Structure 1
Amino acid sequence: MLSRILSDTSLNYNRADTIIRKKQGLFKRIFNAKNDTLVSRSTAEQLNVKQMDAVYRNVEHVVTQNEKIFQRNLHHLRGKFLSLHQKERQLIQANYRLLNDLKNGIDNLKEREQSVVRNAQEQDLAVHKENAGRLERQLIAALCIMLLMIVFILFYQYNAAKYERKLQAEKEYAARVAEEKTSVLASVSHEVRAPINSLMGIIDILKKDGGKPTINREYLDSVAHEIAVINTSVNDILSLSKLEVGALAVKNEYFGPKRLLEDIVGMYVYQAKKKGIALEQEVNIDQRTEIYSSPFRLKQIVSNLVSNAIKYTQRGTVKLSAFIEGSGESATLIVKVKDTGIGIKPEHQKHIFRQYYMADNKLRSTGFGLGLYISKLLSEQLHGDISLVSTPRVGSTFTLTIPITDMREDTVRRKPYTLADLPKDLRLVLIDDNRINILYLKHYFKDFPNVYTFDSGESALKFMQSTSIDVVITDVLMPDINGWDVLKEARQNDRLKTAMIIAFTSDTMHVESVHNTDAGMAFDGVITKPLDEQQLVSLILSKMSRNIPTAAAGTPPAV
């Protein structure tokens, strides 16, 4: 616009001059001909003053308008700038919040990741610890197993060596027993034949002295001793096989150990006197005390111990001592047999209770190695034991210990029973196939009017079917009808159901056999041969006081 106003108010003068330039070469002139002449033009402009004022005013107006427009635009731009600045601030704040949220999110993610990592590490650590503990336990278990295996191997080697030595000892023992088989049989023959020959000699002496009114007491003691030797030898041989398999039952009852032990000592007084040694006793047990055990087994054991002590003692003493240790359920009967004999060497003591074992063959005169072996088995039947303390050339002490299951005090009986304690009207039937035993029983009960003797079970049963009987004493082993048959028939007969049936035998094995002890088929008592007065009377009175009534009138004729 300003250019237009100025052009309208100015006067222009134009002037032109021509200038010839110096000629150049031909070719330059041919190709650049215009450069030969130059025209100089100049323009002069002359302005109008009035128009210049108008122009200035217009220019000021334009400038003013432009300034206003600039101010408006500047204000507008400033508002826009402030708005943009505000929006920029908001955007920055939004970005800050976004960045803050993003940072918080990243921190949370990091924390969660760290928590997951920590949990994983803790779990891994726990698993590691558990695996380490398990490994430790497994290692300990492995070490223990290894130690146990080592101990087991050592134990096995020790036991193998021990059993090898034991087998070697058993082999030597078996060889020794095999070598002594002939001598054992000779000893058995000697143990039976020697007493029989002695009895025959005494009988011959009695025949020659038949005219004399009295019999020498020493003869009778010798007979009793030799018979006891035969009886012991035969009982040992017959009882051995059944004892080893436990076929012999133990019959327990109340009895006084003091009287039993004193009777055993009395049985061997003659044997000790014959050898010139002293037989002493010290039984510190009350006469009224009764224990619950097997008197028969106890008598067998102590008899063997006393007999051996006398047999192997050449001079000095043999002493039997006994006492009860403890009280109640813990009470124990202790019996000691001490001698001043040859003693037993230490290497023989561990074998002394073995079958057929002899400590020293050169020193023994009789026996065949069964007494102590059987005594050991019998003591085990009574849940007891036998121990030995011995010194060579000084003596030996055998100690028998038997537990007492029950004990009582007998306040009624003060003295031993005799046949006079039985009622005179007692009706007895005596059955035995041996005529000597019949004569012996007749003589034994000569003061009783109602005693009937039979040498067979058949004749006795026929008699008892029509007669009331109080007591039947029968042998067990008899031909045709034996003692068990008599017992069975008596139990089935109403007349004889209340009668007392007593077995009279020299071998209790047959009475104690398991297959003969059925319910209702047991004897009321068992007495051994020879007859023991105290045992018989005590048995009859105890049964009569319970359930054996005395028969009524009617006395049949004697047979």
Structure 2
Amino acid sequence: MNVLSRKILLAFLAFTIILVIAALFVRDKIAERLAHTAQVSHLMDLNNSRPQQALLLLHQAEDLFQSSLVDGDPAKSKAYQAKLSLAFAEIDTLLNMQHDTAKLNPEQRKQLHAWHDQKIKLSADLLSARHDFDSLLTTSSDLDLATAQNKLAVKSSQKVQNSTDTINQQGKLKRKGFFARIKEAIKNKNAYAGGSGGVVINHRTRIYVDSVTQKLRTKDKSNYLNKLKQLQQSNSKLQETQRQLIALNMRITHKMEQLISTIKDINYSLTDAFKGLAFNSYLETTSLLNKLYLSALLLLLAFAVLLIVFVIKLGQSEDLLLKENERAVMIARQKMDLLLHMSHEIRNPLTSINGFLYIFSRTTLTPKQSEMLGTVRASSDLLLQTLNDTLDAAKMEGSELKIHNDPFCPDKTLKEVIESMAFSADKKQLQLSYDFQGDPEAEVLGDSFRLKQIIVNLVSNAIKYTETGNVKINATLKLTGGKGGLTVNIIDTGAGISQEQQVNLFSKYYQTNSAKGNTGTGLGLYICKQLIELQKGSISVKSDAGKGSTFSFEIPYEKYEID
């Protein structure tokens, strides 16, 4: 039964430990998966926003470029260069961006490497666009230089005079008839037909050139013609440079838009891959949780099955234990009944034998016969004591032992017992002494027979385990106010009892280890303790190995007073 309980306890502890370890493992895995999913989500947001930012920078640079061409503002040209440089830097960052492939499967790693190779190829296109950008900067510098050279002003001294003449003309008016005037009025014509009249304005512009300028013009006419040709050539060169500048800018913008578009496609593909990775992480986390729940459920079911088996086994064991207990009780009762019956059957003849031996001891015997008779009496007394102890133990087990409450004199009772034990002490050449403190004639209410039985057991043990020296019995009777108690100390100079043996000294069937070996039934001290406690007393022992022993007991008595 204890083995089964231990197994169930160990199974429960193992179940708890396994469940805790599994929970900690799953917790760490879930935390790792969630952290990786959050990192992937952050990378997806970052990768999706950066191409848009680069495209915005490119459009802003394009706007600045167009504006700088219109108004020729150098600040806008520098801002255009700065914006385009930022766009180049952003695209370069996107091309050089690395991704964590630790959580990807082999197929995903292969695809990611292909995209990375594609980014490397795009880097070459970016270098080409940057070279075009450098050419654009050179062309822009040439354009500024040509514009500065074309600023040539020709100043001349001339005088312009404008004059205006006004002439009024009037002619004869031909008067028409009445009906003709009505017709002309209807048609909104002049009523005077055939007439003419009006105002004539003559404009005249005269340019007066002074003689100095006239001479300079005549002299430097050929130089001006050369300058004009140079201006035409510079203008043509300027227009060609502008066309090249616009073409380069368009090519750079087109290439960068293609780069950004390709990078966006790659990032979208990466986003899809990492979304799949995040989804796989979610599925793996869910799978771990499901496995944990399933394992916990299986372990719980296994533990429940073990518990059910334990309960069933426990019930069966209890039934078997009850049956075996009843059987053991019945067998013990039968043995005890048989022992009691045999003890009674043996004690009666043994009592008769002791009586005849006492009679023989009163007759005239030779020393040899007296010695032999003493040996027989000692053996008979020992056998009778063993029988009495056995019967008393049986009565105690069956709660049949009763304590009588009769008047007796403690001093007289103790003297009778000690006198009967004197022969055994003399035989071992031990000095047996008795000392009584108190009123020797005082009588108390109690069981004198049980007191004799206690003294016989304790004194006989003292004599048995003492080889040399003496055995002292000191008794003290104290009666105050009609109540008191008897205290008895039995002191011997025997082998003594070790501290380890004193723990179980008053236990049933316990025998101390002595030079004589284990002798007796081991019931004497147990019966003494039980008899003393039945009379509401107490017993104790003080002893050291090799230094003798002192047994002390105290029994409360009431003083007997004759009415």
TM-score category, normalised to shorter length: 0.3 to 0.5
Q: Which has the higher contact order (CA 8 A, sep 6+)?
A: 2
Identify, as 1 or 2, the structure richer in helix: 2
